[in-house]
Amino acid sequence: MNKATTFFDMSSGGKEKLPWTLIIIEADKPKAVEVFELKWRRNPHNVTCECCGSDYSISEYESLDAAKKQYAAYHHARKIITAKEI
């Protein structure tokens, strides 16, 4: 079973960076960060505003289902990239 990594937009600088509050990539954290950077040409570790902190909160889960369950309330504002799409 593949791990999954979540990127939760922290609205640093007063706005979201992409059209989704939550992005889930079905890969371990290092690979997911690489996919994120290639797909959106954006560093998820960036800090847009020093007082607000990091642009994204990044977490790794044991599976895609576990990540989706953790963020079930964001089903309307998420983008999922499965392992097949990488």
pLDDT(77) > 80: yes
pLDDT recorded at residue 44: 96
- pLDDT digit string, tens, across residues 13-36: 888 999 999 999 999 999 999 999
- pLDDT digit string, tens, across residues 49-70: 888 889 999 999 999 999 999 9
The pTM assigned to this predicted structure is 0.92
Domain ranges for the chain, please list them.
Answer: 4-85
Buried b (16+ CB within 10 A) or exposed e, 13-24: eeeebeebbbbb
